[in-house]
Amino acid sequence: MKIEHSAYFLAMKDSSSLSEASAKAHISQQGYGKVIAALESALGCKLVERDARGAHLTSAGLLFMRHAEAMVAEFEKAKMDLRTQRADLDILREYDGNMAFSDVCMNTFEPFFSSKGLLNRTNREELSLGDALARAEESDWVCLCDVCAQVYPDYAERWDMDTLAIGQVGVVVPRNLLGDFESQSAEEVIEIAPLAVFDCQATREIYELLFGVRNFGDIKMRTTRDVLLHEGLRRGDFAVLSDSFHWTEFQSKIGTPENPLVFVPFRQGVYSLFGFVRKKDLPYDERQRAVVDAMLRSFANLSTINTFEAAR
């Protein structure tokens, strides 16, 4: 059964004859009759009843009309989404402006762009969170940053943010490292499991918020290389200070059915926001706005982008 047949069938909804429906569908009456016959053959039931007064839908035809409307609407939406996707990819391939990434966002998002051949013409900078936020006050930069809402409680007054994802802060831990221990909070996990961190400004700020000290203290590993954290999780060496957004990435790359990764949040409910940050009331120009919107749409349908609600 072809989608075009369902689209043609819609013309029968308010028609009293095949000739009227075929005129609405812009095909010959003979051709329209063949469409109806093909649908009836595929579905195994009578859709249209013909009599001396013309033609009308049977009970099966009325039921199928609802499904045909939904199928055609979904198909048209799919075509529109695909056109939008192609246009977005063209925007991301051609954009040649300035882009700043906080170090966490560079590690998280840049590999996706590179693997797709996107943003190769941009002037990209990997910066500390503070320096990336400073770039957000300059009109010729697009900035992708991670901001902890509790560390920057006034962020909504200082910056505008187009949010890609939200992650609740906690620890990612190999299940076999916990043994029989049933953890209820990250605070309990780090009492029995060594801790590792991605060493950057944002992590240090969150660590200070959680534990009241800026230095990392007695931890197993501090590194700026994700691969080392991945290897340690795979071996079951430690838990990693992370968030629910990154947890699904860890799980897809490292977790196994035999030793899945577990995400456990901190009791006090700390959240990180990932997105495009801009000084309050500093507008994007047309090309910048287009590339931000294209990136937001590109990530919206990726299974690797998860909010805390999805991960929970």
> Helix, strand, or coil here: 60?
helix
Percent of the chain scored above 90 by pLDDT?
57
Q: Which residues contact 61 (CB under 8 A, 6 or more apart)?
A: 12, 46, 47, 48, 49
Q: Quick one: pLDDT at residue 23? A: 95
Residue 229 in this model has a pLDDT that exceeds 50: yes
Give the gyration radius of the chain's Cα atoms.
27
Percentage of the residues of the chain whose pLDDT score is greater than 70:
96
Measure CA of the first residue to CA of the last residue in the chain; give whole Å: 40
What is the per-residue pLDDT for 301? 62
Which tokens in the block code for residue 243?
């968030």
Conformation bin of residue 102: beta by default, left when phi > 0, alpha when psi is -120 to 50: beta
3: how many CB neighbours lie within 10 A of its CB? 14
Closest CA to 149 of 238, 240, 277: 277
13, exposed or middle or buried, with CB in 10 Å at 0-12, 13-18, 19+? Answer: middle
**Per-residue pLDDT, 32:** 94
Token output for 290: 């287009």
C-alpha to C-alpha distance for 223 and 58, rounded to whole angstroms = 69
For range 36-54, the mean pLDDT:
93
Is residue 184's pLDDT more than 80?
Answer: no
Amino acid sitting at position 179? G
Phi-psi region of 88 (alpha: psi -120 to 50; beta: other; left: phi over 0): alpha
Beta-carbon neighbour count of residue 15 at 10 Å?
A: 21
Q: How far is CA 2 from CA 48, 79, 89, 136, in A?
A: 18, 15, 29, 50
| Helices 201-211 and 103-115, axial angle in degrees (round to 10) | 130
pLDDT greater at residue 307 or residue 142: 142
pLDDT (0 to 100) of residue 302: 56
Number of residues that make up the chain: 312
Question: Which pLDDT score, from 0 to 100, does residue 306 have?
Answer: 39
Distance CA 171, CA 243 (A): 7
Q: Among 229, 205, 223, 225, which Cα is nearest to 215's? A: 205
